[in-house]
Structure 1
Amino acid sequence: MVIKHYLLTLLSRNTSFQLRYAVVTFFLCVFLTSPLYAASVTASLSNKVSIENEVIQLTLRADFSDTGDGPDLTPLERDFTILGKSQNSQFSFNLGTSTALNFWVINLMPKSVGTIEIPSIKIGDYQSDPIRILVKSSPQLMDNNGNPPVMIKLEASETEPYLQEQVILSVKLYTSVALQNANRSIPSHPDLVVERLFDDQMSYQTVNGTQYQVVTREYLAFAQRSGTLTVPAQSIQAMINTSTGRRMIKVQSDPLTLQVLPIPASYSNDAWLPSQNVTITTELTKTNDSPRVGDTLIWTITMQADGALPEQIPTIEFNSTRHYKLYPKPPKFDTQKSRSGVIGQQTIIIEVVPTEEGTLTLPPISISYWDTQQSRLNTVTAVTPSINIAPLPIMVKQKTDALDDKVIVDAPLPPQTRSVAPISLAKTQPLKPAEKPTATALIASSNEAPTWSIKQYLVTGLLVLALLMLSLWVRMGWKQRKTEPTRVDDVPTLEQFAPLNTRDETSAFEALIDGCQQNDLQQLRSRLLEWARHRWGDEEIRSVDDIKRLTSVQVTQLLMEAELMMYSQNPTHIWQGEPLADALQEFTSGKEKPSQASQLKTLYPNF
């Protein structure tokens, strides 16, 4: 107590001593507190023991302001999936100094089970210490009824469709919990054309005592080759909340196998159209109440195919005749979607100009298609009602004038009591009853010429002019035929127009087989015709259809599939010519190849 009192008295008496004491105390405080604010990086985990597919949080703290681009998370990507990252900063001021604290929270998903080390994370010029976490295997999530919280199923409306027939793929998602950040897969296959049919349809269903929300997503699929096609399993990845925290689940369905049937051998048409039903409607619309020659009529043709796209409907060719002229417009395509699938509609509008009077009859419209429900070839035909066409007014007047002329000429003369010789209209002196006409008067009366009308002169002049023109044309043709001899030999034959490039049938067949084995689809047609002309002659071979007629059924089917792919706008894969080469060799040799592998192959591996 005495010492304390002495020190206080000393400090109060000596002012310079008080100043020194304050300076020493300040520097001592700064020296003692400086280690507390040393720059460092600290890493911590939300929990050091986790279960499989559970989200863990890694927190990084930087006690300095110059953090550069933030933490480098590259070392984490080997053992963890980085789901997200957030950042916040704090600043504090104390005794004239500022302190910056930066925090990063990273959501991680372990890729495996066991003890995993989180390596050092570098921020700026500093890095954290490594830490470890234990990841345990978790049992499958089940509810009280023993059902999983999420299920997914893949179904098809038809597992054995024909080539390019419509197939409806249904992906059903069953959920009994709320999903977060869901990521669903989409059905795909290199030999399938897939497009969305409808928006998602939602319903509720109870399965084994658990009520599920069912979300159905439907797709349209068209197989582009025959044989076995396997649609990959559909999967979903999402986050759910459990009693232990957020957890990621991954669920997938079973794969789906389609056995695609080829084009039937009994289908003989060039355009392949598989459909459940095809309808055709035609309508011929008048532009006025009484159409005449030269007027325009509107011919509308509407074709609908159930279970087919409008582009699959074959095109129709229209030809004008001497009775009418046709001016078709480009077809319009329309697609109608429903729960039962797609309906393709093709509408063609044609302007019809009649060139003759009378009854106008247009040709019937026919389309052949393969009935996928009855598995047979059907043909549908539509007939357009006829319309009467009136002549032009000038044509009616000409006919009326001609009829009047004919009546005047052909009308019988009234009965005469005297001679019917031409009567002169000149005034003559009446003869005396006792006098008789002299001989001179009789001769003069008999020599008078009849009078002609202007119309008769005009008709006569036209006939004379026509005779002169005809004689001139005959004379010129005779001179030309005399000066220029006929050249029958100048008409080129097929051999001269398209000469053969190979020596004989053997060399042509070897070139054809070599092209098939090299999958050369562009040269297939020319090499086929080259070989066929050697084998059957130019009289029998005019096109590839003649080759189909003269070869086997197997060769015909493979050629139809090759043509289908050759004229396809969007080929899905490279043509494989090996099956066609084998079929041609079996046809020419008359013996089936002994390889068992070729016997097990499908008939149409190229589609």
Structure 2
Amino acid sequence: MISNNMFSFQRKNHAVNHWLKILFWGWLLSFSVSSYAAQAVATVSKNIVGVNEVFQLTISVDDNVNTNALDLSVLDDDFNYGSPAVSSGTSFVNGVVTRQTEWKIAVAAKEVGEFTIPSFRIGASKTDPITMTVMKSANKSTANTSKPEIRIDAESNKDQLYVGESIRYTVRIRIGEQMSQAALQAPSGDGLNVKQLGEDRQVETVLNGRRYLIITRDYQITANKSGDILLRGAKFTGNLIKGNRGFGSTLQIPFEQQADDLTLSVLAKPADYKGLWLPTEALVLEQQWQPEVNEIKVGEPISRTITLRIKNAEQSTLPNLNLQYPNSVRVYDESPVYGSDDDFTFMTIKQVIIPRQAGDITLPPLSINWWNTATSKQETSKIDGLTLSVLPGDPSSQALLPPQALQSDNVEPVATSVQTEIVKDSGWWPWLSLCLAILWLATLVLWLLERNKPKQLQPSNTAAKPQQLTPVDGMMDALERSQPVLLQSYYQQWLKLHPAHPLNKELDEAIQHVMQCHYSKNKRQFSKEDKHKALSVMQRLNKTTTKSVNVKSSVLEPITPK
């Protein structure tokens, strides 16, 4: 017994030692990886100084390292320096641990000339070298180097374009000074429309030991007339902050710098071009049918979604897509949706098409002429039409409607994704199941007792089974729930059952008014007065239909067909 216990204890002790080794090596590996991934950066307060002028050298490492790890002896030949001020710390923000060690050293150059502060190696990290310009005196240095460390550059993706075509103009500003009230004025030119694209992009970087803020902004420039047009460059303005901020003695100096001007060569529209003028490097025309069928019944809707994408184009230049549909269908246009994706501007329109009569119906194709500015040729983009075989409507064809057509605008679609969750604690579900089982057994016992009782006379008029909605009741229900497509479906069922009803014209006007309020390009809010007017027509239909059914039911139908 004792030997068995000792063997079990040794196995447990071996397992504990095994896991301790794994944890130790994991910690050691993470420590070595973090040390390897640490980055060291060296910066100076200024790149141009006078002999014996003191400037600050800052060296930082994004990790906690030994404060004696920095060797400053590489500065002995060309610079004098003092004892470094060292700081280190660890912060924990939003679950992220940040470590940093920083040295600040006062440095002064010994002679006039160009010198290099060499790289410093700290563990596995290494800083970049820094070039220093040393003048004879600080005053002369200040006089000769009054130009601020600010630079503005601009470029365009092309300098030749057509009238109505757009180009992208990009401005980059590199700021290495303290500034206030900084602003960027857009480029300008006679006959040019300038529009900013998106938001500014900012990034910090270190160049030759100095920290810079780089700001990038994009503009869209559209030409409105032909000829050579001077594009005046973007201008950067602001105030430079000079002086000792630590003691509050600062001076603000106005500053402005403009990017170089650019001459744009704008070509006119070719004389032999036909159609709407659309100059661009790329144009894409696409469509989608829902559902994708070639056979449909009267009253069933089919949706057509058309997307037009044009590269480097303004939204105002996108054309209106007009399609001529046959009179055998009703078409309801939704409002166009505009947007942008990379260099493309797109427009999406959706049409709901409802056949009105049986037969073969051809839905029209669409073609757009445009001028390819990359090849200087006219091109045509097309999408095909669709030939539908329309069958007579069926009152029970309501089930064939697309699910999205039967949903109200106020009802959110049900998510179809299924997530699997592993439940470790069953909770109160077993108790609930037990209670339900007890109630089911009690119900079964009561039912058996009731069955064994003497049967009593049951009333002759049993409850009527629920029936499906009539076309009139269906129209009223669809109107109350704001479901225009379902309303149209019930309307088609009504027309098939009552083709010569005296109120058909008034009902058709009411239905079309509802559909126009929902789908027309100039659609408006469907008011309570509109709904009350449509409901009153349907209520009158109910009364007249009930009377006609009662009269017909008094006449016996022949038992044997003639």
TM-score range, shorter chain: 0.3 to 0.5
Richer in strand (by share):
2
TM-score normalized with structure 1 length: 0.37
Between Structure 1 and Structure 2, whose CA radius of gyration is higher? 1
